[in-house]
Amino acid sequence: MYARAAAATTAALLGAGALVLPSATASADTAGAPESRVAARHGEPLVVAHRGASAYAPENTLAAIDKAAELGFRWVENDVQRTKDGVLVIVHDDNLKRTTNVEEVFPDRAPWKVKDFTAAEIAKLDAGSWFSKKYAGARVPTLTQYMNRLTRNHQRLVLELKKPELYPGIERDTLRVLRKTGWLDRQHVKHRLVIQSFNADSVQKVHALRPDIKTGFLGTPAVADLPKYTEFADQINATHTSISADYVSRIHALKGAHGKPLEIFTWTVDEAEAARRVAGFGVNGIITNKPDVVREAIDD
């Protein structure tokens, strides 16, 4: 996500469909109380590592989620896009220029859009050297690789469908990968997964396909428009510069798509003062490049 407010409303909200993808076999809930409830009991928001611990390792790489795990953070956030040959990859920008060496490897392929490269071509790129020599050779992970690493690390995910208007059908593709990697069983869906987007149509498609999955709309809708979003979203996830204590209380006064109080995760909060401010508003989660800084600030 970018550190800016989304438009107050997204164009034409899609009518809910009835098609539902089959879920994996449900597993017993062995994790006890979800982390969100534990945090709530202590009056603290969840801390979510934005694109992994991206202040300390190259964003959206396996190294970034490993760093988040090393720092003790279960929740991470990522961005999903699709290659020319239909493979889902983890990258924020819709082009590869900023976070890889694509200009050197493929100098004649400007503007280096993700959708114009195959997965094999993207796998050749260095996604770490731009950040630090320490991470030279880091790769752009596929969604499958990413989910498997999260499983190994016992982590949880806020998954953003990035610019889904560029990738028709990416909602179904994403759910297919999640199912194949074991992330659509009862345990994961109930406690370990949120799918979000700036595109309301995309969020509604996910809700139509798998109404059991927790979903979030990225943006700051007008208070009068919030009830529209509760039909298909459980969270309104707004930039921290666009919210107030009153706005948060208006969100919490409503019930989301699953009949529970509507939530708000706010982003991207990297300063201690801002973290304390939004925690004081009562937000449910804080998405940050510096999870250690935020945790220390709100634990004071």
Catalytic residues, by residue number, are 50, 92
**Contact criterion met (CB below 8 Å) for 8 and 219:** yes
Side-chain half-sphere exposure of 239, counting CA atoms within 13 A: 12
Cα gap 121→105, rounded to integer Å = 9
Strands 88-90 and 75-82: antiparallel
Rounded to an integer, what distance in angstroms lies between the CA atom of residue 167 and that of residue 173? Answer: 10
Spatial CB neighbours of 104, under 8 Å, sequence gap ≥ 6: none
Query: What is the per-residue DSSP string for 210-246?
Result: -TTSEEEEES---GGGHHHHTTT-SEEE-BGGG--HH
